[in-house]
Amino acid sequence: MIERIVKRDGRLVPFDREKIVFAIYRAAVAMGGRDRETAERVAADVVAMLEKRGSAATDPTVEEVQDIVEKCLIERGHARTAKAYIVYRYEHALKRKGRDSLTYSRENVPFRKLWEALSWAVDHDCATTAELTARFAAGPGALIAAAEEFYEDEIDSAFAKIEERLSDIKILIVSGPSASGKTTTTLKIRERLAGRGFEIVPLTVDNYFYNLEEHPRDSHGDYDFETPQAIDLGMVNAHLRDLLAGKTVEVPFYDFKKGKRSGSSGRVSLGKKGIVLVDSLHGLFEQMTAGIPESAKFKLYIETLAQLKDSDGRFLRWSDVRLMRRMVRDLQFRNYDPRHTILHWHYVRRAELRHIVSRLMQAHAVVNSSLAYELPFLKARLEESFARFAEEFRGDADVEDAQERAERVRALFAEIPACGDDALVPRTSLLREFIGGSEYAY
């Protein structure tokens, strides 16, 4: 019986067969498969091979286990799953070496948007944590007003590009990583479209999720439901094609409390001046809108392109801003403890880098949803949590990603003030999507 495994840093940790099952099943799901029993059988083969190997007297290494997983998958006829597993393994090797991902590189970064954001921050004296602190000390009202105006200008600029093609557009795709502000941005675009006499027909992609029990589940009991394969892409695509063909479709209903899809959420159809709205993390994933002419689509991408430096000259990470937003929103509206959100975030980031950020350059327009004043409001809600996580996770290799993020955000919070006066935030602000109190209905 194998009881221990050697980590890459030489540490001995308990051997967990379920981690092998999870890795195999996750790779299968990435290729469209959902047979957990097969993943269990392959994992059993892996364990059997480990126990029979020539060096059975010693504890196996992580690399040795992964080599055998690849071998078992290929020998058992699961070549496509083996490919997904090999790519995932190679991505992690690149990350450990500090090299660019296979799917995300500097070519995906919208440098013009970054320059505009940095120029704005410099002009408004909020390009550093020290400047941000000074602006709040003097009263944040002017900064809040200016930041809100910047965001509205971003939407106006994107909408101008939509207007140029209104006669052709039948599907408006709003994509972007988690907590980037897609919902509020979509509502503001809808207002502008309604003002031109167009009707938005939302196709709520969340209703097309597979049942939660069909997603990979790790040894901590957490489900990986962040990938595009968590959605019934075939059904979404079929319904989009039917709508554009003038048919009426019945949209399924997904009960998030039960984690199951059941019943119907209603029937929808597309009028002469109707535009289907696809608001989804994975809206740019090709299979979702396959077979639909590109000329009928407008692709809008949302990201928090913050340009703020700390006292050491390091730029604020966009993903950290979105993590904070999601933690606040999850607690406010979904009753998820911040601890659950930060521990789940590594799944979010892996899916973003592979399936979302890598498609950024396909977008017809990019909206910068960063708000220069939001961090003090997020700090007021999360400072204690990040301080606690930084201590709790220290030294635990299984939550290394969460520990690094907790340490980084705690250090950032030490350089900026906290602000708990929500009355300063406009009721139409994107920040209200996360802290609550918006005049929009989400």
The more confidently predicted of residues 254 and 53 is 254
Domain boundaries, the chain: 4-96, 106-435
pLDDT at 30 > cutoff 90 = no
* Cβ neighbour number for residue 235 with a 10 Å cutoff: 15
pLDDT at 339 > cutoff 90 = yes
- Average model confidence (pLDDT) across the chain: 88
- Dist CA 164 CA 166 (whole Å): 6
Per-residue pLDDT of 162-209, as tens digits, reads 999 999 999 999 999 999 999 999 999 999 999 999 999 999 898 998
CATH for the 106-435 domain, from 3.40.50.300, 1.20.1630.10, 3.20.20.120, 1.10.3720.10: 3.40.50.300
**How many CA atoms within 13 Å lie on the side-chain side of 81?**
27
Q: List the Cα angle 247/249/250 in 5-degree steps.
A: 160
Q: Which amino acid is at 322?
A: R
Buried b (16+ CB within 10 A) or exposed e, 361-376: eebbbbbbbbbbbbbb
Stretch among 276-290, 323-337, 342-356 having the lowest mean pLDDT: 342-356
Per-residue pLDDT of 374-393, as tens digits, reads 999 999 999 999 999 999 99
**Phi then psi dihedrals of residue 125, to 5 deg:** 55, 45
Token pair listed for 1 = 């019986």
Per-residue pLDDT of 144-155, as tens digits, reads 999 999 999 999
The more confidently predicted of residues 228 and 234 is 234
Calculate mean pLDDT across residues 419-425.
97
pLDDT of residue 105: 47
Whether residue 139 contacts residue 171, with contact meaning beta carbons closer than 8 Å, is answered with: no
Place of tokens 């029993």: 37
User: Given pLDDT bands bounded at 50, 70 and 90, which one contains residue 56?
Assistant: low
User: Given pLDDT bands bounded at 50, 70 and 90, which one contains residue 260?
Assistant: confident
**Phi then psi dihedrals of residue 31, to 5 deg:** -105, 10
The more confidently predicted of residues 22 and 203 is 203
- 285 sits in which H/E element: none
- Dist CA 194 CA 394 (whole Å): 51
pLDDT of residue 217: 65
Calculate mean pLDDT across residues 345-373.
89
User: Given pLDDT bands bounded at 50, 70 and 90, which one contains residue 267?
Assistant: very high
The more confidently predicted of residues 19 and 244 is 244
Most confidently predicted of 16-30, 272-286, 406-420:
406-420
pLDDT of residue 108: 59
Q: pTM here? A: 0.76
Stretch among 160-174, 211-225, 231-245, 424-438 having the lowest mean pLDDT: 211-225
pLDDT of residue 160: 96
Left, alpha or beta for 4 (phi > 0: left; psi -120 to 50: alpha)? beta
User: Given pLDDT bands bounded at 50, 70 and 90, which one contains residue 303?
Assistant: very high
**Phi then psi dihedrals of residue 268, to 5 deg:** -130, 155
* Cβ neighbour number for residue 421 with a 10 Å cutoff: 10
